[in-house]
């Protein structure tokens, strides 16, 4: 799923999307794709997400509540849900 998001965003933005996880580690600081599982394993979530104005969480309903626990984000808006 993350690879599909990353590929599509890169198509729409002309290659300006980053990704952390799935063998990639190239955050761009504007539009980046990171799975919640990857963030849940990190200790520096607040540092990784500072400077982002929006965090979108896709498919989070598939995760058990314990896996969704992570450090607070400094993003001004965090959204979860479907279209």
Token pair of 66 as six digits: 């314990």
Mean pLDDT of 31-48: 84
**In terms of DSSP H, where are the helices of 20-74?**
36-40, 45-49
Token pair of 23 as six digits: 């063998």
User: 80 near 54, Cβ under 8 Å?
Assistant: no
What pTM value is reported for the model? 0.63
Under DSSP, the state recorded for 60 is G
Under DSSP, the state recorded for 4 is H
User: For the segment 48-76, what is each residue's pLDDT rounded down to a tens digit?
Assistant: 888 888 777 766 666 565 555 555 666 66
Residue 16 CB-half CA count within 13 A: 6
């Amino acid at each position: 799923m993350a690879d599909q998001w990353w590929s599509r965003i890169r198509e729409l933005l002309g290659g300006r999307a980053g990704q952390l996880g799935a063998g990639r580690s190239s955050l761009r600081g504007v539009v980046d794709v990171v799975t919640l599982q990857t963030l849940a394993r990190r200790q520096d979530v607040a540092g990784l997400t500072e400077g982002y104005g929006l965090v979108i969480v896709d498919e989070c309903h598939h995760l058990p509540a314990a896996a969704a626990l992570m450090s607070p984000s400094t993003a001004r808006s965090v959204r979860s849900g479907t279209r």
